[in-house]
Amino acid sequence: MTLNLAPNINDADDFYAELIDGMRGLDEDEALRMSARLVLLLANHIGDRGVLSEAIRLARVPGG
């Protein structure tokens, strides 16, 4: 399996708003920890090491 880079989130604007709302009231350190936990939860859900490695590689490049 390869990383899907095509838009694939239903109601993407609503998801973004929910993500931002989930960080509301957190200080910077708490928000970074929440982001890290979210990444780990989603990585576990994906489970495919090849896809996760590709995502890490692409995330290091500004503009993906």
The per-residue pLDDT for range 10-49, each reduced to its tens digit, is: 999 999 999 999 999 999 999 999 999 999 999 999 999 9
Do the domain assignments include residue 50?
yes
Evaluate if residue 64 carries a pLDDT over 80: no
In a domain, 53, yes or no: yes
Within its chain, how far is the Cα of 5 from the centroid?
13
49 domain residue, yes or no: yes
* Res. 1: pLDDT tops 90: no
Does the residue 62 lie in any domain?
A: yes
**pLDDT attached to residue 58:** 94
Q: What is the pTM of this model?
A: 0.86
Instruction: Tell whether 51 is covered by a domain.
Output: yes
Whether 7 maps to a domain, the answer reads no
User: CA-to-CA distance for 64 and 55, rounded, in angstroms?
Assistant: 9
* Residue 8 placed within a domain: no
- Domain count across the chain: 1
Report how far residue 11's alpha carbon sits from residue 28's, in angstroms, rounded to the nearest whole number. Answer: 26
For residues 34 and 45, give the distance between their C-alpha atoms in angstroms, rounded to a whole number: 17
For residue 63, pLDDT over 90 is answered with no
Domain that includes residue 55, residue range: 26-64
Residue 8 has pLDDT above 90, yes or no: yes
